[in-house]
Structure 1
Amino acid sequence: MRSIDDSGPDLVVLGDNLDVLPTLPDGSFTVVYLDPPFNTGRKQRRHAVTAERRTAGDAGTITGFRGRTYERIRGDLMRFDDRFEDYWAFLEPRLLEAWRLLTDDGTLYLHLDYREAHYAKVLLDALFGRDAFLNEIIWAYDFGAKSRSRWPTKHDTILVYVKDPERYWFDSEAVDREPYMAPGLVTPEKRERGKLPTDVWWHTIVSPTGSEKTGYPTQKPEGVLRRMVQASSREGDWVLDFFAGSGTLGAVARDLGRRFVLVDDNPVAVDVMRRRLPHARVESAVDSAVEQER
């Protein structure tokens, strides 16, 4: 079991997150951010997952959080998903681990595109309860392909769930404010201070020529993750990203005085994080497992 405490270093782990996550202790992270891929390269049977409320002990039920039980129903829910075979068999166990690792006042941010976000909402409600749902954030940006056969897709969806609806941490005063879209309609004092972002975040992608660019293809801008970390954690808290990619959550956490654990199974991603976060300790999950067996 890896130790997550103030005396330990920030950590980058190379390995399959489903192998790494069980080595982390319960309730360790105030923020868990997931930006999962849409193609793991694994061949799996196509089937769908949804849920219906059942009585505990019924045949074919699984027990969810908060004592709820659900029967897993295979169907045609994913008929239109032509990019991933059985995405939910891949994602569901990782969501369960993420929930286990959240502190009681912690927040889960799940970052998806429009193809999966609505199905993910159903799955998360079934697993964790609709009362744990806090927000649907729309990240809108202004670059990319220009379709002429439909409305061009220019947003991602971030689903926000809290471990305990009565205890979650949210500090709106800590969040960087943004300019008013109609500054002439507010007082000079409000115009100078700016406004709190809503659930629609207008933020550009990572500039291809900017200093933030690492060259990693799926890199997310620091400004988007910065808002999450500012609002949902305090200085010294631990945050987790186990589809870490270029390590943006770690870069934001470092700058805001938070601690981090980043996991990715791509050696190229870990090399990028090693350069971007030179102070962090880098481990291989395979090497750690061998060492523990000794």
Structure 2
Amino acid sequence: MADLPDGAFTLVYLDPPFNTGRTRERVSTTTTVAGDVQSGFRGRGYERVRTLLKIYDDTFDDYWGYLAPRLVEAWRLLADDGTLYLHLDYREAHYAKVMLDALVGRDRFLNEIIWAYDYGAKPRSRWPSKHDTILVYVKNPGAHVFDVDAIEREPYMAPGLVTPEKAARGKLPTDVWWHTIVPTGGRERTGYPTQKPEGILRRMIQASTRPGDVVLDPFAGSGTTGAVASALGRRGVLIDAHPHAIDVMARRMPGAAVRRIADGDDAAVTA
């Protein structure tokens, strides 16, 4: 990410590890905050918020020390009319909101999107956790791209309560998105364990970019962001540190250019 130019992307989508408590490789990094990425939430400085969050971080080796530098870079790379989407689950979403408020300012917050699904095991001792949270921030509130006419509409839940014309047209999605996960035997299934469905990325890209714009995914995984961007006439830059992810993306987008970073397994895929 550090090699990419300022303001190059109209949309940045981040789908990082969710801090589930599973064993992960130790990551040690230093964050430098510059420019306007200094303070936000109630005037508190970024470093203070990061210190407070680390107190609650007991499963990942300094999760916010890992994620915050990437958020800083993502914000630098975001265009003046750009939108940042951060995709997490219930473990870190509330902390992420505080962190991003401190990094970029509360006035840059646009939406909290809830992606709800109904699949997998259901515990009997608590309410089943069947949603992810996507936090949406914009570089310049009011000047960001949001093409409401390009967004695919969805069926009304009670079509009998609206006119036949409205029922046929469908309704605009709200900030609660009901969408299945990638089906086991589905067309878009790649076998990558954390693959996100194309429909979720399609909605973001349709709303927050124009044809010809460039999107960035620095935790690209199976490459869904690039595949959807390409199908919609956008370009994508996808980054991942896992060799398996790079192989999956190369097979999924055979026309993409792959550049492997010399000092490790990280690779950038341009679709």
With normalisation by structure 2, the TM-score equals 0.88
Residue pairs, 1:61-140, within 5 angstroms = 65=36, 68=39, 70=45, 72-73=47-48, 77-140=53-116
Gaps of 5+ in 1: 1-20, 46-60, 289-294
Encode CA deviations 1:89-108: one digit per residue, 9 max, x unaligned: 01111001000101100000
Contact kept, 8 Å, 1:81 with 1:115, in 2: the verdict is no
Residue pairs, 1:180-199, within 5 angstroms = 180-199=156-175
- Cα distance change of structure 1 residues 144 and 98 upon mapping to structure 2, 3 Å threshold: same
Matched, 1:42 2:32: no
Count of equivalent residues: 254
Shift of 1:232: 0.1
Contact kept, 8 Å, 2:93 with 2:133, in 1: the verdict is yes
Shift of 1:62: 6.0
Shift of 1:166: 2.9
Matched, 1:256 2:232: yes
Distance 1:71 1:244 in 2: 26
Distance 2:38 2:91 in 1: 30
Larger RCO (CA under 8 A, 6+ residues apart): 1
Percent identical: 68
Over aligned residues, Cα RMSD in angstroms? Answer: 2.2
Contact kept, 8 Å, 2:27 with 2:66, in 1: the verdict is no
Q: Secondary structure at the match of 1:22?
A: coil
Encode CA deviations 1:246-279: one digit per residue, 9 max, x unaligned: 0000010011000000000101000000000011
Q: Who wins on radius of gyration, i.e. which is larger?
A: 1
Q: Secondary structure at the match of 1:23?
A: coil
The one-letter amino acid of 2:77's match is: L
Matched, 1:212 2:188: yes
With normalisation by structure 1, the TM-score equals 0.81
Distance 2:28 2:37 in 1: 30
Partner of 2:12: 32
Gaps of 5+ in 2: 265-271
Shift of 1:230: 0.1
